[in-house]
Amino acid sequence: MLFGLSHHRNGGGEPAPKRGRPMPPAHLWDASDIWADLTAAYARDELSEGGLLAICLAYEIAWRVHYSQRRKSGDPYIYHPLAVYCAMFEDGVRDVATLAAALLHDTWEDGLPLVLPDYPVSPEYAIWRFAQRLGVYGSDVVACLRVVTKWPEQPDKPLYLLYVGLSENERAVVIKLYDRCHNMATICYKKSDSQKQEAQQTLLYFPWMVKRLLRSRRLGKVLACDADQFKAAVRRRAGLMFIRSWAILAFGPIEPSNT
């Protein structure tokens, strides 16, 4: 189960579309409920055909990058970006750039030679080529990934610099928040020191991110969602994340058997 959306094959019925729709990438059938939700949104005119294709392409790129990777839990790594994407979609986000960037948010760090093969020679050209693949959404997706990525020349990029960049991009704030929510939900598989460090970082850096989103007057327009509904979801998810972080610092690391 990925934040309320299962990833079993042939799960759920597909709605009757208003018009012809493109077929999904082959591997997306492994997440058929996710595809059903996407096509339902497309049928309701919440997503354009171009937007649907951009999300499918983002998934395909993420799948190729993370294909052989595993999380600490032993699960395929692709479950993580899918979980972040699913949480946003479940909470009403329909902005294509945000959803695509959610699927791609770890690809530049984990698969730079694959997704940006020209990066060492010409970084800006490599990034421009990547943006071109996503069409009209490319520039917004790239703007998010620029902020949330630790580049090879910045392996020890201080967290506060990351959050300075986040302050200028609301989409990136949302992605980083939902990314941390899922990481904290699965933190039991990490070592004790790592749990404590991430809990401290969560309580130090993320409250202002939540506050910024809750105070934003243009969030609904940026994310193409119902702002009140989304803010309520942010309060709920962030609250659980903060409680979990506080519990780790107060009572010690969380064991997998206790989750």
- The rounded distance, in Å, linking the Cα atoms of 173 and 165 is 9
Residues whose CB is less than 8 angstroms from the CB of residue 65 and which lie 6 or more positions away in sequence, other chains included? 106, 107, 110, 111, 114, 115
The answer for residues whose C-beta is within 8 angstroms of residue 121's C-beta and 6 or more apart is none
Neighbouring C-beta atoms of residue 86, cutoff 10 Å: 26
Query: At 205, which helix (H) or strand (E)?
Result: helix 192-215
Instruction: Report residue 46: phi and psi, to 5°.
Output: -85, -20
Using CB atoms within 10 Å of the CB of residue 118, give its burial: 0 to 12 exposed, 13 to 18 middle, 19+ buried.
Answer: middle
Q: Which of 14, 30, 60, 109 is catalytic?
A: 109
Q: What are phi and psi of 26, to 5 degrees?
A: -55, -40
Whether residue 228 lies in the annotated active site: no
The dihedral of CA 128, 170, 72, 29: what is its sign? negative
Which is nearest to 248 in space by CA: 210, 181, 200, 178? 200
Which residues touch 142 (CB under 8 Å, ≥6 apart)?
127, 130, 131
**Is 109 a known active-site residue?**
yes
Question: What percent of the chain is helix, strand and coil (3-state, nearest 5)?
Answer: 65, 0, 30
Q: Which residue out of 110, 118, 198, 226 is catalytically annotated?
A: 110
The total of other beta-carbon atoms located within 10 Å of residue 1's CB is: 9
**Residue 5 forms beta bridges with which residues?**
2
Catalytic residues: 109-110
